[in-house]
Structure 1
Amino acid sequence: MVFLVAMPLSLGIAVASDAPLVAGLVAAVVGGIVAGAIGGSAVQVSGPAAGLTIIVADLVQTYGWRVTCLITVLAGVLQLALGACRVARAALAISPSVIHGMLAGVGVTIALAQAHVLLGGTPHGSALADLARLPDQVAAAHAPSVLVGATTIAVMLAWSRLPALGRLRPRLLPAALVAVVAATAVAAGTGWPVERVALPDSLAEAWSGPALPAPADLHGVALGVVTVALVASVESLLCAIAVDRLHDGRRVRLNRELVGQGAANVASGALGGLPVAGVIVRSTANARAGGRTPLAAILHGVWILAFVGLFAQVVELIPMAALGGLLVLVGVQMVNLAHLRDLRRHRESTVYLVTLAGVVALGLLEGVLVGLGLAVLLALRRLARLSVRTQEHAGRWHVVVRGSLTFLGVPRMTQALRAIPGRVPVDLDLDVDFMDHAAFEAVHAWRLDHERTGGSVDIDEVHEKWYERTSARTPPTAKTLPPGPVRWWAPWAMRHEVDGDARVSGLLLAGAREYHESTAARMRSLMSRLAGGQRPRALFIACADSRVLPNVITASGPGDLFTVRNLGNLVPPYDPAAAPRDDSVGAAVEYAVEVLEVPAIVVCGHSHCAAMRALLEGAPGDAGDAALGHVARWLRHGASALARLPGLPASAPAAEQAHELARLNVVRQLENLLSYPGVRRRHEEGRLELTGMYFDLATAQVHVLDERRENFVAVPSAAVPHPRAAGDAPDGEPAGPTRGAVVRRRRPDGPAH
């Protein structure tokens, strides 16, 4: 399949590069065999690449073909050196907007040049010249060449859209091959006088190896070596990474792939071939056709060599206008509008368009440099993006600085700080992801000046302690807030001025605005992936207490926890004959276990639980109490835990008894879960973990149930191993939980699972 794709494209790229036609075939053979055998990608196919056509055409026109072959060899040597130095990943630092813009510019240049070939003429050396002279070429078009080229384009566009006829599927044959064969058949059948492919009569005649340049050209040749090496390397590495998404075999080894590309270019240049690079069209065809090892790439080169050796006369029947039509369509398709739409969402479309225009108007190297320069400027601008917001309320000033606080943003921040009157209290929130020394000096100098005038400054850092670390050696002269900055999970009252009669709806809207300003854009990509369905990792049963935040204490995110909350984190035992029945918790348990197939269920209790205090003191009201009747009836599900509460000394504080009951309650609810048939079955099969947790509000510490010691153990602050990697914990230690939330539970008859 790759061989059928490569044959017409190799000839067409040789035409576009103003190189001998056989040079494209040599590059295809060498790229397949050498790069496939030595490179680090399992499915990437290398050969002459459309992205290099402008460079090669310029080199051929400037220095001649044989010196271009030497440049190809030296570019390969440079690639070998880069691969040996293991710097392949550095090439990936180039912005994709520059790469896509470069390829689009190359595509426009190819299409403009080959439009002249399709019309029966010849290109004029530059994209602007080809564009300027295109109207004259259209007026003097050679009708047979136009018809042959139009046939090629029409077949390529229509081939993939044809319906399947039984087992005959159009996509089994490459559109490029079918189009060239159809155009060749039309030209041969009609006897139209069109220019055809001319191959040399013998291998000796075909070979034209490298030659040394003139001394005056050494500087230009060196620049050409670097350009060919870098463009070929970046294109090959990006192609290899992209093709990795199309198969599930061995991942690409980038440095080895760079070495393989270098070896292929040395061999191709020495044999009189075009520069070699990884080609996305051939590589994609290889992966989709079932290629999984480098053998496919190697054999495609063997088939090309055998075909040219045995059927050269068939190749010579191909009209040049057919290759011109093929390249016009290939060039147009290189302007990928999908890339432009993606870049617009990331606000990088300007770099794409400027690079495209630069390649077309100035040349490939110049256009790429212009695009890189613009990408760097935009990156610096983003790094310097800073917002400073000041607000005064009841004589107290609140200043919020967001962004990256570097010397570039110091003037704007200083202007806002200097506008604050003296002798007033100021809350300064530094919501910054970086602060350089110039910014620290500006903040610190303003703070000292403001405090000398009788004012006060409270500095709160929302991310890392940039200011605090730098000022550690300078004793503060004003009281500052204690460590522990106000963050998104802090209550409204700690982030906003909340009056006693503040409307909750206003706070909700303020919170929603803050979410949209700071979080929604970052979550959009994640939530779009989760919108199609949920696969939670655990059913999390917690108390409805507003101080318990399951996602915070487990450091989990959207889609991780299927959460059920109620008074006292209770699970009514399974009893289909009970009346009245409470189906809410049971429905959630059944849905999580039977439909979502969660691998774990967590019951989380907490200290200072009002439900536990109510059980100790006697349930509020009674079943007939209109005000709290539901509460009384619900708390009956916790009576079994109360019955197991050991006798504590009469002098024991009520709070201690409530904490002990909250822990026992977690154990009891885990037992209730096993009364559900689906839970017990999956638990006994080893497919469901049952976990107990306890959250101490006063210390903000998470504890996990260790059944071997029958108590709760505080989760250590150090990182804990992932349960997939951790084995059973030693005796006396909690089993290795992840995210502070998972402890392994043993089956009565088997090991931990």
Structure 2
Amino acid sequence: MLGNHSAASSLKQTFPRDALASLVVFLVALPLCMGIAIASGMPPAKGLVTGIIGGLIVGFLAGSPLQVSGPAAGLAVLVFELVNQHGMKALGPVLVLAGIIQLAAGFARLGAWFRVTSPAVVYGMLAGIGILIVLSQVHVMLDASPQASGLSNLVGFPGAAVQAAGEWGGQEGSGAYAALLGIATIAIMWLWEKKRPQALRFLPGALIAVTAATVASLWMGLNVNRVNVPDNLGDAIDWVTFADLGMLANPTLFMAAVAMAFIASAETLLSAAAVDRMHQGPRSQFNRELSAQGVGNLLCGIVGALPMTGVIVRSSANVQAGAKTRASAILHGLWLLGFVAALPFVLKQIPIASLAGVLVYTGVKLASPAALQGLKQYGRTPIAIYAVTALTIVFTDLLTGVLLGFALSVATLAYKSSRLKITLVYDKDDETQAELRMIGAATFLKVPKLTQVLESIKPGTTLHVPLDRVSYIDHACMELLTDWERTHQASGMKLLIEPRALKRRLEGCHHNAASLGSGPSTSAASPV
């Protein structure tokens, strides 16, 4: 009884804050769900379905209680490419497989490993995605259709702008009027972010801007493209069939599912970690969060909706609005469902150009060079990886850019791990004593350089090899040292290595250092 009373008391304290926060998140999510769907080349209702599942289902299961899930701009580019090349029918099977991969990864407790991602690659990926969103959505702001690639959108924009400008004052639809609404949306969002009254901070700029653009377009009677949503949300559901799942036999679609699972997981868990830094409440359980996302994407695939991730924009709005428990995320899904079910005619009045303006603003923030400030402190290499990742995504595709970024990160790590500075120093008072100083990792990659130094040692020298500044020495380098001693014993040369230091730094350190090499001086070495 006492436990039930305590739970009821806690709910009474937190529910008002969660309810208010859920309304704020709902207002943020509503335009973004539709805008991201349009940017993905999908009907707006598909994004709303994903938002509803992200709230009602994933919100209940989530391992990060204050994180809010839904369609994310980070996957819009991947979905657009997939739909453009293979048709909308291919998205369901790909998303089903991606969800299964995430679910399996969560059960296998791989959540932490999905976070092992170089920040330079992550920021470069977000920048590349942001640039692609801007390049595609500026066409949508003109009531035109975006092209299949970022380069095509860039090259085609001047012509589209000239055509839209020539339609000013036309009666059969005007790209110029649509552009005006999109620009006005961006301007209002920027002004609201900079100048909004303190008492109205809970109202999201995207909602204010889209509402203003919608009212203005209706008042002026502008003939622009508007959102098309079904009167019955059930009409937006396209159930995936077993025959559809057979499409996964296509290696391209299979790899698209793997890429979608990885990118969605990395974005979700990085967002969850960021949300943890925003509040003092319960910390995220990354494996549970990964499994919850897998369930969500599996369900989205079954009903033919958009993929989802944990979204930092909605999540930060949730925390800033004072959310205390997962009830806020769940309720925001309920508000989405109720609004779409009861007021679809309101959504149909929204100009598509205004939603495109929201996405352009979002894309610019994703591609903001502010991330470079954090990378600068680590040198030029992370900045180069950031730039290469972003530009490769823009000029090729998302998967190629991310893979190249990872490859560069691994190559950089391998290069730094294999660096070794070798110096031979003779004792000034006794030239029969020398010290082989090494700084870094002594691996097989440095055998040629080490060989060259050893061959230059004078006959009769006792060689001391301190390992205090060696992070690691492998079997190849150790064999080289012991072989050198065996070969030059007749010339009076000796090799002295401290056994304890060797045991700590040599691969297979559980073996006794005395067993490594046949020379008597190595096995009975004195400390240097």
Shorter-chain TM range is 0.7 to 0.9
Higher relative contact order at CA 8 Å, sep ≥6: structure 1 or structure 2? 2
Task: Return the match for 1:358 from 381, 392, 410.
Answer: 392
Q: C-alpha separation between the residues in 1 aligned to 2:462 and 2:502? A: 23
Query: Cα RMSD over matched residues?
Result: 2.3
Q: C-alpha separation between the residues in 1 aligned to 2:216 and 2:109? A: 51
Q: C-alpha separation between the residues in 2 aligned to 1:335 and 1:464? A: 49
Task: Return the match for 1:454 from 468, 489, 492.
Answer: 492
Cα distance, 1:412 vs structure 2: 1.7
Instruction: Name the amino acid aligned to 1:10.
Output: C
**1:181 paired to 2:211:** yes
Q: Can you list the C-alpha shifts for 1:643-674, whole angstroms capped at 9, x where unaligned?
A: xxxxxxxxxxxxxxxxxxxxxxxxxxxxxxxx
Task: Return the match for 1:53 from 52, 61, 76.
Answer: 76
Q: C-alpha separation between the residues in 2 aligned to 1:193 and 1:463? A: 79
Cα distance, 1:262 vs structure 2: 1.4
**1:25 paired to 2:25:** no
Q: C-alpha separation between the residues in 2 aligned to 1:223 and 1:253? A: 28
Cα distance, 1:158 vs structure 2: 1.4
Instruction: Name the amino acid aligned to 2:520.
Output: T
**1:389 paired to 2:431:** no
Q: C-alpha separation between the residues in 1 aligned to 2:458 and 2:200? A: 77
Task: Return the match for 2:332 from 288, 300, 303.
Answer: 300
Q: C-alpha separation between the residues in 2 aligned to 1:121 and 1:389? A: 66
Task: Return the match for 1:266 from 298, 317, 326.
Answer: 298
Task: Return the match for 2:93 from 67, 70, 77.
Answer: 70
Equivalent residue, structure 2, for 1:400: 437
Equivalent residue, structure 1, for 2:284: 252
Q: Which has the higher helix share?
A: 2
Task: Return the match for 2:134 from 100, 105, 111.
Answer: 111
Instruction: Name the amino acid aligned to 2:270.
Output: L
Q: C-alpha separation between the residues in 1 aligned to 2:41 and 2:502? A: 57
Does structure 1 retain, via aligned residues, the 8 Å contact 2:233–2:341?
Answer: no
**1:200 paired to 2:237:** no
Equivalent residue, structure 2, for 1:6: 29
Task: Return the match for 2:323 from 291, 298, 319.
Answer: 291
Equivalent residue, structure 1, for 2:6: none
Q: 1:381 to 1:16 in 2, by over 3 A?
A: same
**Secondary structure, in 3 states, of the residue corresponding to 1:422?**
coil
Q: C-alpha separation between the residues in 1 aligned to 2:488 and 2:368? A: 56
Does structure 1 retain, via aligned residues, the 8 Å contact 2:96–2:297?
Answer: yes
Equivalent residue, structure 1, for 2:520: 477
Q: Can you list the C-alpha shifts for 1:402-440, whole angstroms capped at 9, x where unaligned?
A: 111111122222222222222234332222111111111
Equivalent residue, structure 1, for 2:411: 377
Q: C-alpha separation between the residues in 1 aligned to 2:436 and 2:405? A: 38
Instruction: Name the amino acid aligned to 1:143.
Output: A
Q: 1:433 to 1:464 in 2, by over 3 A?
A: farther
Instruction: Name the amino acid aligned to 1:186.
Output: A
Q: C-alpha separation between the residues in 1 aligned to 2:181 and 2:240? A: 36
- % of aligned pairs identical? 38
Q: Can you list the C-alpha shifts for 1:603-627, whole angstroms capped at 9, x where unaligned?
A: xxxxxxxxxxxxxxxxxxxxxxxxx
What is the total number of aligned residue pairs between the two structures?
481
Instruction: Name the amino acid aligned to 1:251.
Output: R
Q: C-alpha separation between the residues in 2 aligned to 1:404 and 1:15? A: 51
Q: C-alpha separation between the residues in 2 aligned to 1:196 and 1:163? A: 28
Q: C-alpha separation between the residues in 1 aligned to 2:475 and 2:398? A: 40
My pick for the range that moved more, 308-317 or 431-440, is: 308-317
Q: C-alpha separation between the residues in 1 aligned to 2:135 and 2:396? A: 15
Q: 1:325 to 1:163 in 2, by over 3 A?
A: closer
Q: C-alpha separation between the residues in 2 aligned to 1:391 and 1:184? A: 78
**Secondary structure, in 3 states, of the residue corresponding to 2:143?**
coil
Q: C-alpha separation between the residues in 1 aligned to 2:518 and 2:37? A: 72
Q: C-alpha separation between the residues in 2 aligned to 1:478 and 1:266? A: 64
Cα distance, 1:464 vs structure 2: 5.6
Does structure 1 retain, via aligned residues, the 8 Å contact 2:502–2:513?
Answer: no
Q: C-alpha separation between the residues in 2 aligned to 1:463 and 1:24? A: 59
Task: Return the match for 2:190 from 157, 160, 170.
Answer: 157
Does structure 1 retain, via aligned residues, the 8 Å contact 2:60–2:330?
Answer: yes
User: TM-score if structure 1 supplies the norm length?
Assistant: 0.61
Does structure 2 retain, via aligned residues, the 8 Å contact 1:106–1:331?
Answer: yes
Equivalent residue, structure 2, for 1:427: 464
Equivalent residue, structure 2, for 1:227: 259
Cα distance, 1:243 vs structure 2: 1.1
Cα distance, 1:393 vs structure 2: 4.3
Task: Return the match for 1:340 from 369, 372, 381.
Answer: 372
Cα distance, 1:316 vs structure 2: 1.5
**1:209 paired to 2:243:** no
Q: 1:457 to 1:81 in 2, by over 3 A?
A: closer
Equivalent residue, structure 2, for 1:686: none
Q: C-alpha separation between the residues in 1 aligned to 2:325 and 2:212? A: 32
Q: 1:465 to 1:70 in 2, by over 3 A?
A: closer
**Secondary structure, in 3 states, of the residue corresponding to 2:459?**
coil
Q: C-alpha separation between the residues in 1 aligned to 2:387 and 2:39? A: 23
Equivalent residue, structure 1, for 2:450: 413
**Secondary structure, in 3 states, of the residue corresponding to 1:365?**
helix
